[in-house]
Amino acid sequence: MDLDDAQDPYALFAEWMADAARSEPNDPNAMCLATASPDGAPSARMVLLKEADPRGFVFYSHLDGRKGGEIAANPRAALCFHWKTLARQVRVEGRTEPVSVEEADGYFASRARTSRLGAWASRQSRRLAARADLEAGVAEFDSRFPGEAVPRPEHWSGTRVVPARIEFWRDMPFRLHDRLVFERDGDAWRTHRLYP
């Protein structure tokens, strides 16, 4: 889809994500998540997109780590996808909201067993004296939850970024890049171009 023809940012994103899935060697769904503390100190880290639809962009993580604390205190975030092989980038800015319990439970159950045990054992973003401590925690929860069933801990869930703004960027020769912005206007979207 040419940027001149784009009417729906979610349809355009889905097309670009499908292109990335075919071309990127690793994690085409990797995105940089930026949050900020209540006093405005920014922090950014890579997370994985797990769902994108007209409700927004979803990732999963601990709620009591740094990112979870910043989102709880300042429920706005920005995302950046960069697909080097395609020379494309998408930037998303908006408010955050929790996913439903059903969504979180469903995604958690789909994860590998060791990943589910790790969600229990990790005290995300806190100091770790030795890696052996993390491994001991995983072993402890492995004993606590024998078999395949590992329930989702309350401190682990999903966050949806509900966009107010989505920018699509394409690399062009001589740095005359192509930039198209969608901005939310009620239930619709307004579009405009940006200089490179």
User: Which residues are catalytically annotated?
Assistant: 175
Q: Are strands 42-48 and 30-36 parallel, antiparallel or unpaired?
A: antiparallel
Q: Are strands 156-170 and 178-185 parallel, antiparallel or unpaired?
A: antiparallel
Of 91, 107, 86, 98, give the one whose Cα is nearest residue 152.
107
**Whether the Cβ atoms of residue 156 and residue 149 lie closer than 8 Å to each other:** no
Q: What is the dihedral of CA 79, 50, 159, 64, to 10 degrees?
A: -100
Give SS3 for 120.
helix
